A and B are shown apart, each in its own frame.
Chain A
């Protein structure tokens, strides 16, 4: 059972480039999330989804986009990368009704230079 899989693990972008962070889960979870974590800071919610075809903004959505065409996949798109988007990105998922049990991917370390 793979759980939540994120790719890539590391990436360096130039300012203005775009990329997609991939996230897939094989646990048939309804809810999926994207967080970013800056050094010494807590997790900030970027976007979340409560099911296929449904997405909603979190605390820090600017500069990002998401889609949820299937239950398994929840990619995060960065358009026109900026240095402020340098961070560690975590994807997470959970079952509806199990609010405490978030399963996280191993994270993507992104640097924008």
Chain B
């Protein structure tokens, strides 16, 4: 099982739709989880951290399920500007220096 797995997509959705991505991780001891966003040919940028209790940032909601070892990202009321690749990122150990990146899920929002 790969360390961090994501459905590569693309997810094609119309504007205004709700879309959800999942990401599974293999290391049950993983401590921290994040979603990064990467626009085409650009550098990744932090979208949001994922907390155990779940968290929301505007139209974006992140959830963590430790028992099943997956995290999710829900985007409501999709905008054209949401079109990007969403990277699932895991810190395997507390205080560990490096992060493990998934390959990303591509989202395409159409008018």
Contact = CB atoms under 8 A, between A and B. Distances in A.
A107 to B, nearest CB: 6
Given A100-B49, A102-B44, A102-B99, 18 more contacts: A41-B103, A42-B101, A48-B97, A90-B43, A90-B44, A99-B91, A99-B99, A100-B32, A100-B34, A100-B46, A100-B89, A100-B91, A102-B46, A104-B43, A105-B43, A106-B42, A107-B42, A107-B43
A104 B44 contact: yes
Contacts of A40: 8, 103
Closest 6 CB pairs of A and B: A104-B43, A42-B103, A43-B101, A42-B101, A100-B34, A100-B49
B64 interface: no
Interface string B92-108: 00011111011110000
Interface residues on A, range: 20 to 34
Interface of B: 4, 8, 32, 34, 36, 41-46, 49, 87, 89, 91, 95-99, 101-104
Contacts, number: 48
30 contacts: A31-B97, A33-B98, A35-B101, A40-B8, A40-B103, A41-B103, A42-B87, A42-B101, A42-B104, A43-B87, A43-B101, A48-B97, A48-B98, A50-B97, A58-B98, A90-B43, A90-B44, A99-B91, A99-B96, A99-B99, A100-B32, A100-B49, A100-B89, A101-B46, A102-B46, A104-B43, A104-B44, A104-B45, A105-B43, A107-B41
